[in-house]
Amino acid sequence: MAVDLKIIDRSILMAVPERQYKFVLIYCKSGQVIIDIDGEKYLIAERQFLTVTPKQFYQFIEITDCHGYILEFTYDFFCKSDKAIELIYHNGLYCHFGLNELINIATEESYLNVEHCFSLISKELLNKYFEYEVSLHSIITLLHIEVSRNKIIQQQRPLYKPDALFLNFLNLVRDNFEKRLAAKEYAALLNITEQKLNELTKKNTGETTQQVINDLIILEAKRLFNYEDLNVKQIAIKLGFDDTHYFSRFFKKQTSTRAKDHLRKLLTD
């Protein structure tokens, strides 16, 4: 299903973490819920949001008198234009680098707007009126604008506004780890020069294209270490490394920790 809206209740509790392949917006109207995302625990309290980005591992651990919603939607459903892609990633609302943040509803007006959006989404999914998917896209857009406005109010840093081309690059890296593509190959897939791609990554992150690629590989490696029953060799293969020793050297260079030591620590914790 391209869009799904769930009520927060005990049926969503998970015995083990699961990998998410959709965008997830969690809203706690009252009470609280505890969720683990990529090994970090978050307590979502009254009138707070938390987002989960595709490819993250998450687990609902505990619910205490919580009333709220879990909105899930696919990339293909929402990201039909550059503007839509930018909306959900602007200001780090969803983040390829796994930086999840609690977002507070700042005003009573915003609270009412959020409640209205969820009510409309529920009705559209239930009744499936004429062009309901178009209507759903519009309502979900309005909801994310509202969430973004609240995040802007609470944060103490400049607005982060990556453009769609850079975001498409990050999506390509995330979806092609096993191919172990070089920066110039990603540039070719985007129909731009390697120099242009490097300018984009410098502008958006302050890092080179290759370092951004490396950062995403390491993030994925840690997720595989944490949540998949795989050894170092198997993880190396999944990330496009034919040589386990080369992968181990790469991991140590990026993290200052040997891959085997990282796995051993996870197993003994």
For the segment 180-233, what is each residue's pLDDT rounded down to a tens digit? 999 999 999 999 999 999 999 999 999 999 999 999 999 999 999 889 888 889
**What's residue 267's pLDDT?**
46
State yes or no: pLDDT of 155 exceeds 90.
no
Cα angle for residues 243, 249, 254 (degrees, 5° grid) = 125
Q: Parallel, antiparallel, or unpaired for β 103-104 and 18-19?
A: unpaired
264 confidence band (pLDDT: 50, 70, 90): low
Q: Mind listing the domains of the chain with CATH numbers? A: 3-154 (2.60.120.280), 164-268 (1.10.10.60)
Sequence-distant (≥ 6) Cβ neighbours of residue 256 within 8 angstroms:
none
What Rg value do the Cα atoms of the chain yield, rounded?
20
What is the overall mean pLDDT for the chain? 93
The arithmetic mean of pLDDT across residues 73-93, rounded, is 95
Kind plus residue range of the DSSP H or E element containing 40: strand 40-44
